[in-house]
Amino acid sequence: MSAVASPPVLKVQGLKKSYGAIQAVDGVSFEVRPGEIFGVIGPNGSGKTTMFNSVLGQISPDAGSIELNGESITGLSPLELNRRGVGRTFQTLQVFGKMSVRDNLLVAAQEHQGSLFSRLFAPGDSGLGGQADALIDLFRIRHVAEQPAGSLSYGQQKLVDIAMAFMSEPDLVLLDEPCAGVNPSLVGGISVLLKQLNRERRSSFVVIEHNMDFVMDLCHRILVMVEGRVLAIGTPDEIRANKQVLDAYLGN
């Protein structure tokens, strides 16, 4: 008797979003498999961010369906998605500059847990201290854990921002340009860290990123968007060899 295959962690089918006469996302479909690092690339204006925000509940799609682990999440709010196991980072940092690094992680997880009333009567760290400390060690930021997050370098703040996305122990994390503004010397470290999280926690990622070397090194499969549509989906080697992608995006 054959085993039943697990559903995709994320399934997007026929997603559309327009602004007046502009079709920002035009029938985009793809799946993210359990334990997969899935990249999304494309030139500016290709619809990546609109697609990303539609999946995350930031904006409402005009058509299409979105499923998480086989259940519909179409139209759910970002908070409800977070409670169902979706973490995310933004292009711009979302850290609280005056709070310590450790407290930033605690606040990120507390948002995931219950109501404000229930959190008021929880232990001082809502019972999340051990989880925060484990991520602090994993991200190698123990030496700055009690410092105000705003006092750190941009690259260190980026690590804190990514760590915050994992405090809710998500099934799926969507990373919006994790390398943007980061010193090139740290980019390789972010890639190593994400690979470790993927390997040890079986975390699934969707990564939007302009750094082509980073995406090609990190991702198992890559989706290429052009003018709101899917141009290609494939492994890094398949994308590198795709003439349409080379012509439309890589400039060869």
Mean pLDDT by 10 residues, the chain (252 residues): 73 96 95 96 91 92 95 92 88 88 87 45 56 91 94 92 89 91 88 92 90 93 95 96 82 52
Q: Where are the alpha helices (DSSP H) in the chain?
A: 48-55, 78-83, 101-110, 116-120, 129-138, 154-165, 184-201, 212-218, 236-240, 243-245
Q: Which residues contact 74 (CB under 8 A, 6 or more apart)?
A: 61, 64, 65, 66, 67
Does some domain include residue 146? yes
Same domain, residue pair 134 and 236: no
Same domain, residue pair 21 and 79: yes
Burial class (CB in 10 A: 0-12, 13-18, 19+), 189: middle
Same domain, residue pair 213 and 158: no
Query: Which domain, by its residues, includes 154?
Result: 95-169
Same domain, residue pair 29 and 146: no
The pLDDT, as a whole number, for residue 111 is 58
The pLDDT, as a whole number, for residue 117 is 39
The pLDDT, as a whole number, for residue 34 is 94
Domain count, the chain: 2
Identify the bridge partners of residue 100 per DSSP, sorted by sequence position: 148
Same domain, residue pair 44 and 145: no
Does some domain include residue 90? no
Same domain, residue pair 191 and 157: no
From 117, 149, 169, give the residue that closes a domain.
169
The pLDDT, as a whole number, for residue 208 is 94
Same domain, residue pair 38 and 100: no
The pLDDT, as a whole number, for residue 94 is 84
The pLDDT, as a whole number, for residue 108 is 84
Same domain, residue pair 60 and 177: yes
